[in-house]
Structure formats: C-alpha cells, structure tokens
Structure 1
Amino acid sequence: MVARNKLLGNYGWVQNTSNLRTIIRTLILVPDHGIRHLELRDKIKQQRIEAHDLPRRWEWDARCRIKAIHALGLVKLNRYIQGYELTGIGQKLKEYEASGLRGENVALTEEEKIILKDGLLTNPPVIRVLSLLNEAVGKPGLSKYDIGQRLGFVGDVGFTHKDPSIIAQLGRSFNNQEGDADKWARTILSWLVQIGWAIDAGERDFSGQKIKLYAATGEVATVLRYKAVRITRNVPAEMLCSNHHAFPKLIQKRRSLILQELGQDVCTIQKLIERLRAENINANEEICKFDILNLQNAGFSITYDGGYYKLTDRIELDSPAQVVVENDSLNTIESLIQTSVVKFDMVPPRLVDHLIRFGYDGEMGTEFEGIVAEYFRFLGFDTEYLGQGRGRVTDILAKYIDQTYARSYGLIIDAKATSGRYGFPASDKRKMKEYISLHGPQLMVERIPHHAFSFVSSKFVDDISPHLDEIERDTAIKGCAISVEALLVLGNKIGQGQIRITELYNKFASQGLFSVS
C-alpha cells in the first residue's frame, strides 16, 4: 500500500529527539526549494540506513525528527506541497553546516548555539519552560515532572502527567514512567541544557529514587525580557490541540481565532464570544477563559487588565486554508473538566483534569488512587500512597502533624473510581474496617491521636448514613464520604485562604458527606 503524502496531525510538541546534533543532521536533508513530507521521511530513513542505525520503529522516529526541526524554527510548513521549506534561521544554520559536517556526538559550536537559540525562541512551549525555570530562580531546581504538570493543554488526553512520588512509591523507574507532558518537558530541558540556558541543579529523592533537577542560567531572565519579545513565534494551528482530543479541528480553529483576536488589540471576553459565534463556533465565557488558560500554559503571553485581554507575543499563525469542523458538543466529562478548571482556579488545572477524568471512569481505579494521593499532598497533608499490590492496606494515608500532639490527625482513605454512584458494597466496608484496625495503631505510634476514614469517589448513592454508621459501630472510628467536587471546593478554599487543614478534622469525622461550603 502506497502511503499518502500529507502533513502530520500535530506540530510544536516533540519527544525523543533531544540531541540537537541529530536535529541539525535532519535539517541538512531539506533542500533549499523545499520538500514533500514523505520525501523527507524517506531521506531520514536512508540517512539512518547509511549510518547502520535504522530502528524498528523508524517511521515514528522520522516523525519525531521532522517535528523537531519544525519546533526549533528551522523549517515551516508548506501546505501547497504538503511538506516543508527552510526558514531564515534554518537557511542560516544549513549554510553554516556546509562549512564542515560534524559528527553525531561532536559538541555544538558557539555559532551553532547562537543560531539554535533564535530558533528555540520561535516555539511557545520552549518559552513556557524557560519562564517556569526563571520563576524558580533561587529555589530548588525543577524536574521534568514539575514542568510537565504545568505545560500544555488541560482537558486534552494528549497532555498527561504523572506524579513522581507515586511512581517511586510503586517501585517504578523514572526513565519509563512519564505522561506526555512530562516527555515534552524532558525533551525541551535537554535542548536548553545543550545551548546553555539550563544547568544541572542536583537531584531530589523520592523513596530512595533520585530524579534530576534543572535550573535556569543567569542569561535566561535577560533573554525572556528583551530577546524573546522581538522574535516571532511559529504557530501552526496543529500545535493548539492534540489529535487525541475528541474534536481536534474544532479546538484548533477556536484557539486560532482567539489568538487572532487577542493579537489585534485589547479584547474583552464578550468580543471573543462574538467573534467565535460569527464563525459558527459555540462559545461562552467559560469556554473562552478555559482556552486562554490553556494557551498561557502552552507558552503564549496573554495579559489581563481590568476585563481586557491582550496577546503580547508576535506570532505567525499558520492555519489550513479550508478547515471544516463539526460544531460538536464535548462529552459530559470533557465539559465538566472545562467548567471546573475555570471555576476552581486556585487548584492546578491538571489536578482538576485528572481528578475528574479518572474519578468518573470505573476503569481508571489505579490512576484515581494516585491522583487522590497527589491531591491530598497538594492540600498540605503528609501523604503515603499504599495501594496497588501491597496487600490488605488502604489506598492512601493522609496525615496532618501538628507541633501540638492533640491537634494531629490521620485519614485512612479508600479511593473508588466509578462512572455511576458509589454504593458501599459489603466487601469494601469490610476492607475499611480492616484498614482501620491495621493503620490505627500505626498512626498512634507516630503520635497521631485522631483518626478518620474517608471514601473518595465521583458521586455517592443518596443514603450513605447506614454504611458509615456500620463502620463506626464496629471500629469506634468516624469518617465521611468525599465527592470529587467537594475535594475541588476544599482545594479552592484552601488556596484562597478561607480555611486551613488544621480546622478540618471534625469535617472528616462528620459521618456524612464532606462539605466546607
């Protein structure tokens, strides 16, 4: 079967092509007059054959290399030929390389670094990573997971993130346990190290495993303040949403229109709504705020002042000439994520996304346990994730430890992902009683005198009292049922300073639905 020549579904985000020398070698394959996508793919294959280095998944590898030369601003899309042409930066680097081809493992020259720095600044995700590193100056370094949690599009299954503390507690390796956003972060960090904008900042320990940390070099603050603002970002519509989304073309077009409008002048939400509706795209305040937040997470500089938004970046927006989109509605979960990210703005957006996405899916029990553990850590608890194959133990222990012994308390948590309403089956109640018998004495040894049990799920059946009362009667320990929404409300109130975890023990021991409203 002959492959059809066409552009890829996504650009701007790259994984597993971290060696800048490899990217330069790929650039050299692009002729001055441009090249069709399949021709470049085949040239990459031939280059690897000649180097006796053709991987089994060579087509996937070729796609990564093509995305990399585009993400570094060395080529731009040529939609007419469904391929690529050199940019001014790419032409300059290619001419420099003509002076003498360097080996795969040869260090970059200073001239190469200067050119590549200009190319990197055309990529919004690189700007986002640089900004996060710059914000952390004077603090412990950031890992790929720290950056991955805050990089890319919330509510998009193509931008997942994993919690390193959960990975470590499960005894898994940081080398092969990453979400997609963590992979993008890892690749960009590697580029920044090679050109001198990031350095090794030591390691962080997670349950005996070490993970690398990175910090910005002194040059970065000046680059962001003066140089980055002068360089035009290369923005194909395909970078504005992954093709794993249910409606990628719709989201890409919607965000393209928002960027166009924000780039023209200061703009209100109402004006954005009118522009989108004029293009027959459903829009409201929630949708617009959600997209603005996501564009900021992707590296676009969008300011807000007194009800007015403004894109301060220079961008070259590259959209297909004709985009036909079906104005479909998001499914219930995607819609709930969108609403909640805007509503609970004191909670990190990706935590909101994962708490809802996993909690409302009965097939994602393991993932839900992990995100609940991460969420209680975000709330300020000392959290242990004990689930997944460790015998008859609870999923999560969350501890508040106060200098005053009598104020300390511990929570024995069972996380239950479900697409319906959780109904407290007899086996789960029996297990919770066992968990209390096991972990209660352990908490006492740690000088934590007050204990409560908690079931966490998306929603619960109407009458929960008999189930909670049975557990209290048999263990003398009180507890509660916590919905995903209640957790989000709690996180928002803690973020706003309206409540502190020091005050919450009685809420967790309420023998009813947990609520702080």
Structure 2
Amino acid sequence: MAVKRTFGWVQNPGDLKKLKKVVGIFTAGSAENLDLVSNKLPLLLTYGLISNDDYNDFIAELNKTDIEIDYSKLKGKGSGSRTRKDAICTGIIQAIIEAQQNKTYSDVAGNSITIKKPYTDDWTAEGFLRWAISCGLLEYVKDDDKCKITPLGEELANAPDNSPAETEALTKALLSYPPVIRILSLLEAQDEQTKFDLGSKLGFKGEMGFTSMPQDAYLCDYCEATTAGERTNVRSNEEGDSDKYARGIASWCMQMGWVESNQKDVTETYRRKSYTAKLQTYSITRKGEKALIKARGNSSNPRLARVLMFEMLASNKVSSANYLRFVRACIIKALTSSDKSTDQLKKALKGYELDVDDTAIKDHIEGLISIGLEITENAGKYRLLDKIECLEIPARTECVKDNVVDIKDRVRNKLIHLDHKYLALIDLAYSDAASRAKKNADAREFEIQTADLFTKELSFNGQRLGDSRKPDVIISYGLDGTIVDNKSYKDGFNISRTCADEMSRYINENNLRQKSLNPNEWWKNFDSTITAYTFLFITSYLKGQFEDQLEYVSNANGGIKGAAIGVESLLYLSEGIKAGRISHADFYSNFNNKEMIYTA
C-alpha cells in the first residue's frame, strides 16, 4: 500500500537559495552533492550528530549515478525520544540546510567547535522537499515512495548561482505553481494589499485549511493589546492558513523581484470603533507583470503548464479531503477535453459515480480559480485555459465522503443570501482534531468565524473574546446581549455540568460586574445600552439531556434564558436573517432553555 504524502500547499519554507540546494542533492557532482559528501556529512559524523548507519547509507545514496532516494531518508525520522532541538540528523535534506543558532559541539577526542547548527529539523526539511515537488523540480514516485530530479530541476541544479539560467529555472518553477499565479493576479488587480486581503481570496472558500483572519478583528486585538508581549502574540498567532500561504508566496515573489513590500497605515472599524496600525503590504512590480505575461503566454510564447498535485485540491484539515479532491480533479479533467456548461459537468461527473449539484459545481470552480487556475465563463460554458501537469487521480473507491460533507452539500443549496465561506463553520463544529494544539487552533477558529458571522453578516454587535477566563464570543442587538460558548464535537454535544458551571460563572460575573471576581472585566465589552441578557451554546448537534443543563443554568442565575443551537440550524437562521424572513427580535424570542431549530 502506497504511503500517504501531502503536497501542494507550502506554508513555511521561503528561501529560494535553500530550495536550490535541496534540488542540487540529486545531481551527482553538483556543488551541493559534493558538499554533503565531502564536508557536511563528515562534520556531522565527527561530532556525533549523525549515526554511523545513516552516514554510510546517505553517502552511498549520494554517490549513485541516477539518484532516486526514499522520501523518509530525505526528510528524516523525527526526534524520537529526544526534543526537536536536541535530535540528531536523520535525513539528507536536514544536512544540506543549516539552522540559524550557534551551538558548541565536542568530538570524541574532546575537541570543541562553535558553529551554526549544521543541520535543520525533519519538519523544516520536509517543507523544502514538498516545495520542490510542488513546483515541479523533483518528481515523487508514488509506488516506491521515492524522489528524483526532473529536467527543470536539473536546469536549476546546473545553473551557476545568481546567473540568468538560475533565474529562468526558478521563474519556470514558481510560475508553474498555481497559487503564485493567484497572488500575482490579485496584486495586478490592486496594489498595496495585506496578507489578510490576499488570504481572504486564496483557496477554497468555506473549508478548513483556507481560513483568513478578519483584518478588522486583527487590528482591534493588536491596538488594544496593552503590552509588547501581547502585541507580539497577536502578530504571531492571529492569522489564518490562507494568510500564511499568501505571506509565504509573496516572500518568494519578492526574492524574484516580482513583488515589493512596504509598511502602510491601515484603518479598520470594529464594533463602531476605529483602529489604525502599520501593516505590511504587497504590490506587484513591472517584473512581476512581465512574469504574469510569461505565465499566461502570448502570440509568440506558449502558456506555461501548471503543476497541480492532487493533494492541492483540498486541505488535510477538511473532512473527506480525498473525496473533495476527486470531485475537483474530475471537473478539471472534464474541462480539459472541452468547454462545458454546468449541466454538462454534472453529466460528466455522473460518469465517475458522482452526484454533484449546480451550486456545488459553481463553488468548486470558484475554488479552483482561487487557487490560481484560469477558468473563464462565456455563454454559460466554462473553459480551462491552463495545461495541467502531475495531476494523478486515484481510484474512486479511495475517495468517499462522510456525513460532514453531506451536511455541507445539503446546506450549501439553501444558502442563497449568505456567503458560502461560512460553510467552514460546519467543519469547525464537527472538528475531531487529534492533538491538543490542533484542537485549540480549531476552537479558536470556530470562535473567530462565529463572531465574524454575527457581526459582519447579521448586523449584531459583538466580538470574539475567547482567552483565559473569558467567554468565547459575545453578541448584542438593541437592548439584548448574549454570552456565547462554542463547542466542537464530531459525535454530538450534551452539555456537561462543567460546561454549565462555566457558563453560570460568566453570567454571575456579568451580573455583578466586580473586578474582584475577574480582573480582566470582560463584561465591559458589552454595549452599555443592553438591559436583557441570554446565553447560547453553539455546536455540531445536540444530544442527551442537554435541556436539563440549560434549565440548571437558568435557575441558578435568576431565570436568565438560554438556548443551544446546532451549526446547521445556525446557518439556516443566518440565511433567514439575511433574506429578511427572520428578525433579530424573532431570534431573541426563541431563548426558552431549549434547542433552537431552524430550517431553510
């Protein structure tokens, strides 16, 4: 059975010179190859930073005429029982990329040396490997789980440093990567965009793995931070996945001279208050415009092909990722043969045992455009202008959808007025992240997107609070205010006594408003005009005796009314408010210590 690897989206590696080093490993006799064999690997062995077995194995691999190396040998095996910073080198790519910090090492004879750490960690190494594969510089041999160099990779590896040949090879590689085309195209349309501007228009809307931090919320958090440490925390942590992709791709383009960066005062209004801070902005250069012309082709030069890995067609963070990739790959394949209408695409997809409706097809095509493919529509027919390479479609049996995708498809058809980006709330509500870090990240995103939905789409006041000893979200409209608790549960949520007690504590703090109860005084974020309060749990779906806990919270706090709502009902509620069928007063009249149920 083939090993599952992830390619396509690259978030962290950014140095084009290091990318070239990685590619050069695969060319016998290249500077990078010789440096590893003659200098880097012997140095690691001398100071006990690599095992004898790995040293001998790596030397043998690098001395082959036609180099084809196991993926795991390239990236390394991880830290094992050691911490990441103390782990020895276990991968060839780790050895070609030195780290930043200086460290002192001693050999068996007691001789010591202080140098930059001469190897990186396996996570960074794999990032560079994925980048090289995704740009068509290396080829991944799926059946063998090995990597080898491509003709374009050989061009780059053999080009002298800082030469026109090197620039040309990097140009071809980066312009073959669809998200680079997307970022350059967005900047061609409008200068001085921030990573949030770009990230909000990059990737598949309404899906985990392609979220963007609302810029107004970011500026609010940054400007209201009271210490340098808090501001650093906001800068470091408050960005979505698409924002990170946009920032990274813009950095690559800056190294090529296609994009330039400046600092600009950006002003946004959040909760009727204006915030201004300097943010990094990006603009396309004349070289960048010429790069786009080269990518798109003209009368004398053919359009450059796009390298599109199957894995690029959905993030691993989303439910049933392979199913979504399969649908999108089949749409691409159908458009490769001829222009097609939505009805013709539906018929083509049925040939792959896929029943996809018009709305979903349009969302998929919009997503393909947003990752950098050029698809036009004329007279009701879609046309794919790009030539696609490296897209391998697996068997249909490997690509099945689960209940979460069924729910999204069901809801999607009924959202006429509401932006489909909020379908991501379904993924977030049903999140079953395995690690604590991912759980925390998904929970944070659930809170951010919930606050964004109520304030941007539904005209409530409010914001995400979500830090220690604060409610997740607060919202208000007119005289009514609500404390919101977000709960992600893939298998349904039954309000526990712990959750009920936590909500009771927030209600009590808001009632008494004493700093001695909670020094952060989160209740001050409510509008001063509010006279009535409610509480709300938002989750995937409700089960068990949750209404008993709603009554418990209500009775313990003077009869305050609460409710719980599943994410599907939340989206139907939102559609109803947007369409004018449901008023804010209707919403507040539905707090009766029961589940709120809405249909479209």
Short-chain TM bin: 0.7 to 0.9
Residues 315, 352 of structure 1: CA spacing in aligned structure 2 closer, same or farther, 3 A cutoff?
A: same
Partner of 2:484: 413
CA separation of 1:193/1:411 partners in 2, compared to 1, >3 Å: closer, same or farther? farther
Structure 2: distance between partners of 1:316 and 1:362:
34
Q: Report whether the alignment pairs 1:275 with 2:275.
A: no
| Cα displacement string for residues 273-309 of structure 1 (whole angstroms, at most 9, x for unaligned residues) | 4434434x33322664454343233222233445433
The SS at the match of 2:452 is helix
| Distance verdict in 2 for CA 1:308–1:416, change over 3 Å | same
Change (3 A) 1:455 1:288: same
Q: 2:423 & 2:323 partners in 1: Cα distance?
A: 23
* Among 2, 9, 22, the residue aligned to 1:26: 22
Q: Say whether the 8 Å CA contact 1:256–1:317 is kept in structure 2.
A: no
Task: Map 1:140-289 onto structure 2 (within 5 A).
Answer: 141-143=193-195, 145-153=196-204, 165=217, 171=230, 172-175=233-236, 180-202=241-263, 212-219=279-286, 222-223=289-290, 226-229=293-296, 230-242=303-315, 250-279=323-352, 281-285=353-357, 288-289=361-362
The equivalent position to 1:383 in structure 2, one of 462, 466, 482, is 462
| Contact 1:156–1:245, Cα closer than 8 Å, also in 2 | yes
Distance, in Å, in 2 between the alignment partners of 1:362 and 1:43 is 34
C-alpha contact 1:163 1:374 (8 A) present in aligned 2: yes
After superposition, the C-alpha distances for 1:76-126 in whole angstroms (9 at most, x for unaligned) are: 4566884333344x44444432xxx4xxxxxx6777555533332211122
Q: Which has the larger radius of gyration?
A: 2
Equivalent residue letter for 1:375: L
Aligned match of 1:394: 471
User: Counterpart in 2 of 1:71?
Assistant: 134
Counterpart residue identity of residue 572, structure 2? V
Distance in 2 between residues matched to 1:213 and 1:8, nearest whole Å? 36
Distance 2:242 2:513 in 1: 35
Determine the C-alpha separation between the residues in 2 that align with 1:377 and 1:196. 39
Residue 248 of structure 2 aligns to a residue whose secondary structure is: helix
* Deviation readout 1:354-374 (Å, 9 max, x if unpaired): x22332459868433343223
Q: CA deviation at 1:187?
A: 1.9
Instruction: Give the equivalent residue in structure 2 for 1:457.
Output: 538
Residue 252 of structure 2 aligns to a residue whose secondary structure is helix
**Residue pair 2:184, 2:284 contacting (<8 A) in 1 also:** no
Q: Residue 468 and residue 344 in structure 1: after superposition, are their counterparts in 2 closer, same or farther (change >3 A)? A: farther
Other-structure match for 1:427: 501
Which deviates further from its counterpart, 151-160 or 232-241?
Answer: 151-160
Match for residue 104 of structure 1? none
Give the match's secondary structure for 2:467: coil
> Do 2:250 and 2:282's aligned partners in 1 also have CA atoms closer than 8 Å?
no
Looking at structure 2, the residues matched to 486 and 248 of structure 1 have their Cα atoms a distance apart, in angstroms, of 24
Note if 1:487 corresponds to 2:570: yes
Give deviations 1:8-38, integer Å, cap 9, x for gaps.
Answer: 7232222321011211222333328864143
1:243-265, Cα deviation, whole Å (9 max, x unpaired) = 56665555444432221111221
3-state DSSP of counterpart to 2:255: helix
Using a 3 Å threshold, how does the CA distance of structure 1 residues 196 and 341 change in structure 2: closer, same or farther?
farther
Q: What is the CA distance between 1:509 and its match in structure 2?
A: 4.6
User: d(CA) in 1 for partners of 2:512 and 2:474?
Assistant: 12
2:588 to 491, 508, 511: 508
Taking structure 1 as reference, are residues 156 and 491 closer, same or farther at Cα in structure 2, changes over 3 Å only?
closer
Residue matched to 2:68: 36
Quote the residue 2:45 is aligned against: none
SS at structure 1 position matched to 2:235: coil
Q: In structure 2, list runs of 5 or more residues that go unmatched.
A: 29-64, 75-90, 100-114, 297-302, 434-438, 515-520
Contact 1:414 1:432 in 2 (8 A): no
The equivalent residue for 1:359 is 429
Alpha carbons 2:501, 2:553 under 8 Å: kept:
no
Query: What residue in structure 2 maps to residue 330 of structure 1?
Result: 401
- 2:183 is matched with 129
Q: Secondary structure at the match of 1:300?
A: coil
- 1:116 to 2:170 alignment: yes
Let me know the Cα RMSD of the aligned residues.
4.7
Instruction: Check 1:339–1:84 CA distance in 2 against 1; reply closer, same or farther (3 A cut).
Output: farther
On the 8 A contact 1:479/1:509 being kept in 2, the answer is no
Structure 2: distance between partners of 1:423 and 1:473: 15
1: CA distance, partners of 2:525 / 2:239: 36
* Residue aligned with 1:313, SS: coil
Residue 498 (structure 1) shift: 3.6
Q: Which of 298-307 and 18-27 deviates more? A: 298-307
Q: Cα gap change, 1:210/1:116 in structure 2, threshold over 3 Å: closer, same or farther?
A: farther
Counterpart for residue 372 of structure 1? 450
The alignment status of 1:9 with 2:87, answered yes or no, reads no
**Residue 319 (structure 1) aligned with residue 399 (structure 2):** no
2:536 corresponds to which letter in structure 1?
Answer: F
In structure 2, relative to structure 1, the CA distance for the partners of 1:309 and 1:215 (3 Å cut) is same
CA shift in 2, pair 1:180/1:430, >3 Å: closer
**AA aligned opposite 1:511:** F
Deviates more, 1:72-81 or 1:191-200: 72-81
Secondary structure of the residue aligned to 1:25 is helix
Q: Structure 2 length as normaliser, TM-score? A: 0.65
Distance across 2 between alignment mates of 1:265 and 1:69: 31
TM-score by length of 1: 0.74
Question: Alpha carbons of 1:349 and 1:66: their partners in 2 closer, same or farther (altered >3 Å)?
Answer: farther
For the residues of structure 1 that align with 2:241 and 2:525, how far apart are their CA atoms? 41
2:34 alignment counterpart:
none
The Cα of 1:455 is off from its aligned counterpart by 0.7
